[in-house]
């Protein structure tokens, strides 16, 4: 019976990409000179796992390429090679290449052989030309002496006795034999004396033992490394033979296997592979990761909650079977219990989707290092709040905007070392990434101590592009927002880093699509702070139900500042433009939903309705409604996916009575009020039109 190995490919790719991240982070943390044992071992183990997995699944290009990287890392680990900038740069470039190779194989595409071969030659050249000259002579002599002792005799005797549970750990002796034969000529005798009768045989257990002879100039450490996968699942002895021993023909009950053959009898044996539980999806090239790792504590909490739910359901079923009026109180208690269980179950399920933002932040040390080197700048990256959690879907979609903002700070924000020195600043610039929770949102800050935004230059470019009138005067925050305009750029020349005017436009569009906002604070000569506010999850929100006529809408609770009864003396109107309401010491725009969505309200008189004061992008607006209903959590369904995008609407949900309610997009409504204020406010105010003083 053949095993379909493709079912395990996705697991291999996901674990390999995680391994590459570990390698990259480890290399970035290495100090030049002698390698730290723990750090270099972590990097080496990740490379070894990728190499072993690739070899198992027959991805020979990946396996052979990783083997050369592993050799270089092994020399660093053994102390016969120092960590140099050249070696780290080459290994980082090799990780990029390996990531591209894995992505190509995962998508079913051809790998870039030219790039792969070029980097592999560079690695081999580095290995050949710099294998430890920088080490003291005594260290070289010790290493060379050790190698002579272990490789002077090229015949090894290996006894391999797997434990019965070997297959249950996902291992297979065939893979070990396949790896051993790459070291030399392998001859093996298998002992089947412990093999039970057919009817007593458990296909999930291992019964065989092998005695092998390996004719090779390899070291004992290289042989031991082959068995690293099964070191806790077998009895293993490796000994050096003083003379060549010929293993005689085996008796009838034994089978001789020559591993130099292309196919062996062992490979025809069935083995049981572990089942990996994961979400099944139709995998496409470039698709997002379809699985998520969850802590066992979260799974335990979920299982306990399901148990509570089953108990409550049983209690309600028992009451319903022989219901009498005296059971009414028990029924109410059961429904209350069901409501509590459902709420806790929902919270626990949502926790499973939450991941620390370090998954996004971890890419930036490498990005900052490479860009700083390319731009000739000295930049230190500081990160805080890496364990702040947010929804996996939000995490995946915030990656590109963060990259654009970081690149913008590195290129436009932080100055060259000589410029900083002349301005009395440290030559090393600082870029900070901070994340924290605030209310129902996650806040991400990108802070640099660079030159800040040049308001005069931005305003001049905006007037040149027709975005601002020649005589128009804008406050600082409006000038800063101009950098998010499509096609806007102040770069003197176009490069592969910046200057095409697309990055900041992408940032604003993507963040708004997530229901978030971007705020900018900048001081010329001192630096800039870009603040992103995002909802923790895109799946569920706390909402305030409102009614306009026969229609029910939902306003996100985090957007609401207050609700109030309209007082006519506080209503004002700008001639031909829009209605305003004086809220204490400030004026806010009034948005009439019945005008925005063309529906019939109970009344068009402001004093007969309510004003819901909401905030978006730092601006308050008043939403005129007929009535306030309940507050509740709602499950968000995408309107754009199932219908089409509607301005002012972020999604829809199904209420308890089965009706559909639209969820208001406060950012979209604010933009509607700016662009067409008359369309969503009543030009005939309750009071005479007058300009607001």
Tell me whether residue 689 is one of the annotated catalytic residues.
Answer: no
Does 153-268 carry CATH code 2.60.120?
Answer: no
pLDDT in tens, 202-243: 888 889 999 999 888 888 888 888 887 787 788 989 888 754
Q: How confident is the model at residue 133 (pLDDT cuts 50, 70, 90)?
A: very low
When mean pLDDT is compared across 277-286, 310-319, 435-444, the lowest value belongs to: 277-286
H or E element in which residue 431 lies: strand 428-438
Tokens of 134: 């920088």
Per-residue confidence (pLDDT) for residue 632, from 0 to 100 = 84
Per-residue confidence (pLDDT) for residue 260, from 0 to 100 = 34
Cβ-count burial 355-378 (b if 16+ within 10 Å, e if not): bbbebbbbbbebebbebbeeeebe
Helix axes 9-29, 85-107, angle to 10 degrees: 160
Q: If you ran DSSP here, which 8-state letter would residue 194 be given?
A: T
**Burial level of 475, CB count in 10 A (0-12/13-18/19+)?**
exposed
Most distant CA pair in the chain, distance: 112
Nearest-angstrom CA–CA distance, 22 and 72? 17
Residue 359 scores a pLDDT above 50: yes
Query: What CATH class does 540-680 carry?
Result: mainly beta
Per-residue confidence (pLDDT) for residue 418, from 0 to 100 = 93
Residue 1 scores a pLDDT above 70: no
3-state secondary structure (DSSP) of residue 405 = helix
Per-residue confidence (pLDDT) for residue 325, from 0 to 100 = 83
Nearest-angstrom CA–CA distance, 561 and 618? 12
pLDDT in tens, 602-632: 988 888 889 999 887 667 889 999 999 988 8
Parallel/antiparallel/unpaired status of strands 378-384 and 428-438: parallel
Per-residue confidence (pLDDT) for residue 261, from 0 to 100 = 34
* Predicted TM-score of the model (pTM): 0.60
Q: What share of the chain is helix, strand, coil (3-state, %, to 5)?
A: 45, 20, 35
Of 19, 216, 101, the residue nearest 226 (C-alpha): 216
Average pLDDT over residues 107-119: 90
pLDDT in tens, 64-74: 899 889 888 88
| DSSP output for 621-669 | EEEEESEEEEEEEEE-B-HHHHT---TTEEEEEE-TTS-EEEEE-HHHH
Query: What CATH class does 5-146 carry?
Result: mainly alpha
Average pLDDT over residues 5-18: 80
pLDDT in tens, 508-552: 878 877 878 888 999 988 999 999 988 877 777 788 999 999 999
Nearest-angstrom CA–CA distance, 637 and 653? 6
Backbone angles phi, psi at 24, to 5 degrees: -65, -45
Enumerate the domain spans of the chain: 5-146, 153-268, 296-352, 356-535, 540-680
Backbone angles phi, psi at 47, to 5 degrees: -65, -40
pLDDT in tens, 297-310: 888 888 888 888 88
Instruction: Confirm if 131 and 81 have CB atoms less than 8 A apart.
Output: yes
Tokens of 198: 């057919």
pLDDT in tens, 453-469: 888 888 888 888 888 88
When mean pLDDT is compared across 138-147, 286-295, 341-350, the lowest value belongs to: 138-147
Nearest-angstrom CA–CA distance, 551 and 453? 45
Of 628, 625, 627, 613, the residue nearest 666 (C-alpha): 613
Nearest-angstrom CA–CA distance, 677 and 687? 18
Single out the catalytic residue among 39, 48, 171, 233: 48
Per-residue confidence (pLDDT) for residue 97, from 0 to 100 = 93
Residue 142 scores a pLDDT above 60: no
Per-residue confidence (pLDDT) for residue 393, from 0 to 100 = 82
- HSE, side-chain direction, 13 A CA sphere, residue 635: 9
CA distances from 219 to 98, 127, 154, 238, 283 (A): 28, 18, 9, 11, 42
449 or 577: which leads in pLDDT: 449
Nearest-angstrom CA–CA distance, 500 and 479? 19
When mean pLDDT is compared across 96-105, 253-262, 482-491, 542-551, the lowest value belongs to: 253-262
Identify the residue whose tokens are 């995946």: 396
Per-residue confidence (pLDDT) for residue 495, from 0 to 100 = 54
Q: Is the dihedral of CA 556, 562, 566, 572 positive or negative?
A: negative
Q: Is the dihedral of CA 417, 419, 422, 425 positive or negative?
A: negative
Per-residue confidence (pLDDT) for residue 249, from 0 to 100 = 42
Q: How confident is the model at residue 138 (pLDDT cuts 50, 70, 90)?
A: very low
Share of the chain above pLDDT 70, in %: 81
Residue 311 scores a pLDDT above 60: yes
Average pLDDT over residues 1-13: 68
Which own/partner contact pairs does 40-47 have at CB distance under 8 Å and 24+ positions apart?
Answer: 40/73, 40/76, 40/77, 40/83, 41/77, 43/73, 44/70, 44/73, 44/74, 44/77, 46/19, 46/20, 46/22, 47/19, 47/23, 47/73
Single out the catalytic residue among 24, 70, 179, 415: 70
Identify the residue whose tokens are 């507050």: 631
Nearest-angstrom CA–CA distance, 98 and 95? 5
When mean pLDDT is compared across 26-35, 126-135, 264-273, 514-523, the lowest value belongs to: 264-273
Instruction: Confirm if 431 and 440 have CB atoms less than 8 A apart.
Output: no
Q: How confident is the model at residue 496 (pLDDT cuts 50, 70, 90)?
A: low
Nearest-angstrom CA–CA distance, 358 and 385? 8
Tell me whether residue 594 is one of the annotated catalytic residues.
Answer: no
Nearest-angstrom CA–CA distance, 413 and 610? 46
264 or 64: which leads in pLDDT: 64
Per-residue confidence (pLDDT) for residue 160, from 0 to 100 = 92
Nearest-angstrom CA–CA distance, 140 and 627? 84
Per-residue confidence (pLDDT) for residue 6, from 0 to 100 = 67
- Tell me whether the CATH fold assigned to 356-535 matches the one assigned to 540-680: no
When mean pLDDT is compared across 646-655, 660-669, 675-684, the lowest value belongs to: 675-684
Tell me whether residue 408 is one of the annotated catalytic residues.
Answer: yes
Single out the catalytic residue among 171, 341, 348, 408: 408
Does 356-535 carry CATH code 3.30.565.10?
Answer: yes
Backbone angles phi, psi at 443, to 5 degrees: -110, 125
Average pLDDT over residues 441-445: 89
Average pLDDT over residues 96-125: 90
Parallel/antiparallel/unpaired status of strands 586-592 and 619-625: parallel
H or E element in which residue 457 lies: helix 455-464
3-state secondary structure (DSSP) of residue 563 = strand
Share of the chain above pLDDT 90, in %: 18
């Amino acid at each position: 019976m053949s095993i379909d190995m493709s079912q395990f490919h996705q697991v291999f790719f996901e674990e390999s990409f995680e391994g590459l991240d570990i390698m990259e982070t480890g290399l970035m943390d290495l100090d030049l000179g002698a390698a730290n044992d723990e750090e270099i071992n972590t990097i080496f183990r990740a490379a070894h796992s990728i190499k072993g997995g690739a070899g198992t699944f027959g991805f020979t290009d990946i396996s052979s390429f990783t083997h050369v990287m592993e050799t270089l890392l092994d020399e660093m680990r053994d102390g016969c090679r120092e960590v140099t900038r050249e070696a780290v740069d080459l290994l980082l470039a090799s990780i990029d290449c390996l990531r591209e190779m894995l992505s190509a194989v995962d998508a079913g595409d051809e790998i870039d052989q030219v790039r792969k071969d070029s980097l592999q030659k560079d690695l081999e050249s580095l290995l050949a030309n710099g294998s430890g000259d920088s080490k003291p002579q005594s260290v070289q002599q010790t290493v060379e002496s050790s190698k002579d002792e272990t490789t002077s005799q090229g015949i090894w005797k290996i006894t391999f006795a797997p434990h019965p549970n070997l297959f249950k750990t996902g291992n297979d002796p065939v893979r070990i034999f396949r790896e051993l034969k790459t070291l030399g000529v392998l001859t093996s005798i298998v002992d089947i004396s412990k093999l039970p009768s057919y009817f007593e045989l458990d296909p999930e257990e291992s019964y065989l033992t092998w005695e092998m002879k390996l004719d090779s100039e390899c070291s004992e450490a290289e042989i031991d490394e082959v068995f690293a996968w099964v070191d806790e699942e077998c009895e293993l002895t490796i000994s050096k033979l003083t003379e060549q021993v010929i293993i005689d023909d085996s008796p009838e009950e034994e089978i001789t296997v020559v591993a130099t053959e292309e196919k062996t009898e062992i490979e025809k044996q069935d083995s049981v592979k572990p089942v990996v539980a994961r979400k099944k999806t139709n995998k496409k090239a470039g698709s997002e990761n379809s699985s998520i790792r969850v802590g066992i504590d979260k799974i335990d909490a979920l299982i306990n909650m399901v148990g509570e739910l089953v108990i409550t359901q049983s209690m309600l079923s028992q009451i319903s079977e022989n219901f009498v009026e005296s059971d009414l109180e028990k029924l109410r208690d059961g429904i209350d219990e069901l409501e509590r269980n459902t709420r806790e179950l929902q919270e626990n399920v949502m926790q499973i989707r939450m991941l620390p933002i370090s998954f996004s932040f971890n890419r930036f040390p490498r990005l900052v290092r490479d860009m700083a080197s390319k731009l000739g700048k000295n930049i230190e990256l500081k990160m805080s709040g890496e364990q702040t959690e947010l929804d996996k879907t939000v995490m995946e979609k915030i990656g590109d905007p963060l990259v654009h903002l970081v690149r913008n700070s590195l290129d436009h924000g932080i100055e060259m070392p000589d410029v900083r020195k002349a301005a009395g600043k440290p030559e090393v610039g600082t870029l900070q990434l901070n994340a924290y929770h605030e209310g129902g949102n996650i806040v991400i800050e990108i802070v640099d101590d660079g030159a800040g935004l040049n308001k005069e230059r931005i305003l001049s470019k905006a007037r040149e592009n027709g975005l601002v009138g020649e005589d128009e005067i804008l406050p600082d925050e409006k000038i800063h927002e101009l950098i998010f305009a499509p096609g806007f750029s102040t770069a003197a020349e176009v490069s592969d880093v910046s200057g095409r005017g697309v990055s900041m436009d992408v940032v604003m569009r993507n963040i708004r699509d997530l229901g978030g906002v971007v705020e900018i604070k900048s001081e010329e000569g001192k630096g800039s702070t870009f603040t992103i506010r995002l909802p923790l999850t895109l799946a569920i929100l706390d909402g305030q139900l409102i009614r306009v006529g026969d229609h029910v809408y939902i306003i996100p609770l985090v957007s609401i500042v207050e609700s109030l009864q309209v007082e006519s003396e506080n209503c004002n109107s700008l001639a031909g433009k829009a209605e305003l309401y004086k809220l204490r010491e400030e004026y806010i725009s009034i948005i009439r939903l019945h005008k925005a969505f063309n529906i019939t309200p109970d009344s068009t008189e402001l004093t007969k309705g309510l004003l819901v004061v909401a905030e978006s992008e730092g601006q308050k607006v008043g939403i005129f409604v007929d009535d306030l209903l309940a507050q509740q959590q709602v499950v968000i369904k995408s309107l754009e996916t199932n219908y089409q995008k509607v301005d002012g609407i972020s999604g829809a949900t199904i209420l308890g009575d089965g009706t559909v309610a639209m969820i208001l997009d406060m950012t979209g409504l604010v933009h509607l009020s700016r662009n067409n204020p008359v369309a969503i406010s009543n030009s005939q105010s309750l009071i005479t039109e007058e300009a607001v003083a």
